[in-house]
Amino acid sequence: MQIKRDSQFYRFAAYGFLKNLRFFDPFLILFFREMGLSFLQIGTLISVREVATNFLELPTGIIADLYGRRLSMVLSMVSYLSSFMVFYFFPSFYVYMIAMIAFAFGEAFRTGTHKAMILEYLRINEMTDMKVHYYGATRAVSQLGSAINALIAAFLVFYSGSYKIVFLASVLPYAANLVNLMLYPKELDGELRSGEKRETMKAFLGIFRNGDALKGVLNSSLYDAFFKVIKEYLQPILKALALG
């Protein structure tokens, strides 16, 4: 099935490609070790990131509904860039917590939002029957970014002699993605609910007054964070058991 490869298609594809150029991903734990952090501190930072990401998905989703998906995506890139700069310039465990929360904002603003923009574009152009092929084509470009990500990161680390450079290098693709997202057409914002701000905020704040709802959010956040922290230590644990 032939899909329409117009300028917006290439913007969608560029977003996925640039987003996956996360040069810090393969070396994150090694970077923290280079900065002198213990494994307990590293686990704490990852926990802060995952708990914050899950918890922030509610308010960031509300912002996307009230003010538009484009703003949400732009704020995502700004949050990521802020995180990268803090990691590069301020080597401190407690400051890294702030960077992790900024990174969590980036993840929360982004999650599901861009996919909704693609589906909105297909709906506007009466191409919803092609959504699998269209989304698959953009994902293929995203996977290309993932494929070359580790290679570029390894090259940077090898020639710089430090893991720190990966955060500074990550600024370039994310800054380019920020510009890319700012060029998205206004109609991709979807149906805004700006007239329902008071009701929406009242419903959101009601979660904190409802013990069962708040407990559900916290349980989900803590479970996901615990799982993602533990999996980072799976290999060392298996190695210790095997040697034992």
For residue 96, tell me if it sits in a domain: yes
- In three-state secondary structure terms, 194 is helix
pLDDT tens-place string over residues 76-107: 999 999 999 999 999 899 999 999 999 999 99
What's the pLDDT tens digit per position in 35-65?
A: 999 888 988 898 888 888 877 877 777 777 7
pLDDT for the residue 53? 85
**CA nearest to 137, candidates 6, 13, 8:** 13
Rounded percentage of the chain residues whose pLDDT exceeds 90? 36
CA-atom Rg of the chain in angstroms: 20
Distance (Å, rounded) from C-alpha 100 to C-alpha 82? Answer: 10
Beta strands in the chain (DSSP E): none
Report yes or no on 169 lying in a domain: yes
Domain-located, residue 1: no
Q: What is the CATH number of the domain that holds 50?
A: 1.20.1250.20
Residue 66 domain flag:
yes
| Residue-number span of the structural domain to which 120 is assigned | 7-243
Which tokens belong to 33?
A: 């070790």
Q: Is residue 206 part of a domain?
A: yes
Three-state secondary structure call for residue 73 = helix
Domain assignment present for 2: no
Residue 19 within a domain: yes
**Do the beta carbons of residue 149 and residue 21 sit within 8 Å?**
yes
Q: Compute the half-sphere exposure of residue 84: CA atoms within 13 Å on the CB side of its CA.
A: 24
Q: pLDDT by residue (tens digit) across 125-148?
A: 888 888 888 888 888 899 898 889
Q: Is residue 225 part of a domain?
A: yes
Q: What are the CA-CA distances from residue 134 to residues 1, 125, 175 (Å)? A: 9, 12, 25
> What is the number of domains present in the chain?
1
